[in-house]
């Protein structure tokens, strides 16, 4: 009864399994259940030796040797067959034992209610003297970490993909839009003041269906342009700058640090599908869409936009991969199955600079956890290209080698 999984028991009760609801009722009265089981157990363990002693005395008389042997045999049989064996079986197969047994224990509890009340009268008095509150011990709520442990230990009972999605769902509680956004440098945007031929060429060759349109500086966002509607207007009429301005949708700004769950709710409640992340000074930090948040749950969608300096194939035959320094760490971890820390800087460039505390002016090798990295190209502002080496099973961390 005590070893049975309460959550599985609730599921069995919802499925109307035989004895499941009766077992739930018994476990809701733990003090009375334990009293009935222990009273019956101790009565049995007391009566059997007494009967055995009486039979031995009646058969062999007052023979101390016979009484000692009989007492030893009975004690051995009780320990093996009435204590250890049934308890191991019950703990190993709690559902198979508890559900049928509840059908017998339930009527026994009703019959023995006066005796149970009398025994519990003394037991509860002792508990009050010891200031032990049994009512507060019935809370079966699980914390997020406990639920995570249950998912991790589900093993073969849950498909790997489903388990991964659930674990990612727990992680969403601790991240903000800054962790999932496309950083400012990687935003594909359209300069409204650019030559009109360049604007048309960008519209025809862009990777996205929606473009951020700015004037002069990307912090001066004019709106969001729907590329397909714009190209349709281009075929139907002469496209001019004023026509282009009329096609712009109002930009949707969100503050940096907005929790991901909250932002997902905003997307559900509004008609916007593109949010611009700005800091406290109103400067553009990045761009986030519902797809960016969903990718945190189920993995990255297939898209034709390039990742960085390397192809999307991941590790090559030598166990190497070349990526852009501006690549977000969460995306890099998900893509290459790495465990780079994400509680500090958001990009690979930021992480390396935090460790080096300087922008390297030459080739530098850094080992972060199990991952070895080589800075291939950098300038006065940031690290541009990095080569990653596939980590072995175990590796030492914290080494920095300059070449």
Q: What integer pLDDT is reported at residue 396 of this predicted model?
A: 42
Which CATH class name applies to 320-402?
A: alpha beta
Q: What integer pLDDT is reported at residue 236 of this predicted model?
A: 62
Structure tokens at 79: 């320990």
Q: What integer pLDDT is reported at residue 253 of this predicted model?
A: 93
Domain 175-298, what fold? CBS-domain (3.10.580)
Q: Model-level pTM?
A: 0.59
Q: What integer pLDDT is reported at residue 304 of this predicted model?
A: 43
pLDDT in tens, 67-87: 888 888 888 988 898 889 988
Q: What integer pLDDT is reported at residue 221 of this predicted model?
A: 92
| Cα(193)–Cα(345) distance, integer angstroms | 33
pLDDT in tens, 283-334: 999 999 998 888 888 876 645 444 444 444 578 888 889 988 888 888 888 8
Q: Structural domain boundaries of the chain? A: 6-141, 175-298, 320-402
Q: Which residues of the chain are under the pLDDT cut of 50?
A: 302, 304-312, 394-398, 402-403
**CA proximity to 210, closest of 325, 301, 291, 311:** 291
The runs of H, that is alpha helices, within 93-174 are: 94-111, 113-129, 144-152, 160-171
* 378 class by beta-carbon count within 10 Å (0-12 exposed, 13-18 middle, 19+ buried): buried
Cα torsion angle, 136, 137, 141, 145, sign: positive
| Cα(286)–Cα(185) distance, integer angstroms | 8
């Amino acid at each position: 009864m005590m070893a049975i999984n309460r959550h599985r028991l609730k599921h069995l009760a919802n499925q109307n399994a035989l004895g499941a609801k009766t077992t739930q009722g018994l476990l809701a009265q733990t003090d009375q259940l334990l009293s009935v089981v222990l009273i019956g157990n101790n009565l049995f363990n007391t009566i059997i030796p007494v009967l055995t002693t009486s039979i031995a005395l009646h058969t062999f008389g007052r023979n101390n040797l016979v009484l000692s042997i009989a007492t030893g045999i009975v004690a051995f049989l009780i320990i093996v067959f009435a204590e250890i064996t049934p308890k191991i079986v019950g703990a190993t197969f709690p559902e198979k034992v508890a559900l049928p047994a509840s059908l017998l224990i339930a009527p026994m509890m009703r019959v023995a209610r006066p005796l149970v009340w009398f025994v519990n009268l003394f037991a509860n008095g002792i508990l009050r003297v010891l200031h032990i509150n049994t009512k507060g011990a019935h809370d079966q709520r699980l914390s997020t970490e406990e639920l995570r442990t249950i998912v991790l230990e589900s093993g073969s009972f849950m498909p790997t993909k489903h388990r991964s999605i659930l674990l990612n769902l727990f992680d969403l509680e601790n991240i903000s839009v800054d962790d999932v956004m496309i950083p400012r440098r990687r935003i594909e945007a359209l300069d409204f003041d650019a030559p009109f031929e360049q604007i048309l060429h960008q519209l025809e060759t862009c990777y996205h269906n929606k473009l951020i349109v700015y004037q002069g500086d990307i912090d001066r966002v004019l709106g969001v342009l729907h590329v397909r509607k714009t190209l349709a207007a281009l075929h139907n009429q002469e496209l001019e700058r004023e026509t282009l301005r009329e096609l712009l949708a109002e930009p949707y700004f969100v503050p940096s640090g907005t929790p991901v769950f909250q932002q997902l709710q905003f997307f559900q409640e509004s008609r916007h599908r593109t949010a611009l992340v700005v800091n406290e000074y109103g400067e553009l930090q990045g761009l986030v869409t519902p797809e960016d948040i969903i990718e945190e749950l189920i993995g990255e969608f297939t898209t034709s936009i390039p990742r960085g300096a390397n192809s999307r194939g991941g590790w090559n035959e030598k166990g190497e991969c070349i990526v852009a320094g501006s690549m977000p760490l969460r995306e890099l971890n998900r893509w290459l199955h790495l465990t780079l820390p994400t509680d500090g800087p958001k990009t690979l460039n930021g992480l390396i600079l935090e460790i080096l505390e300087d922008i390297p002016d030459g080739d530098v090798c850094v080992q972060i956890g199990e991952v070895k990295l080589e800075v291939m190209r950098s300038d006065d502002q940031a690290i541009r290209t990095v080569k990653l080496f596939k980590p072995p099973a175990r590796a030492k961390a914290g080494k920095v080698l300059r070449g």
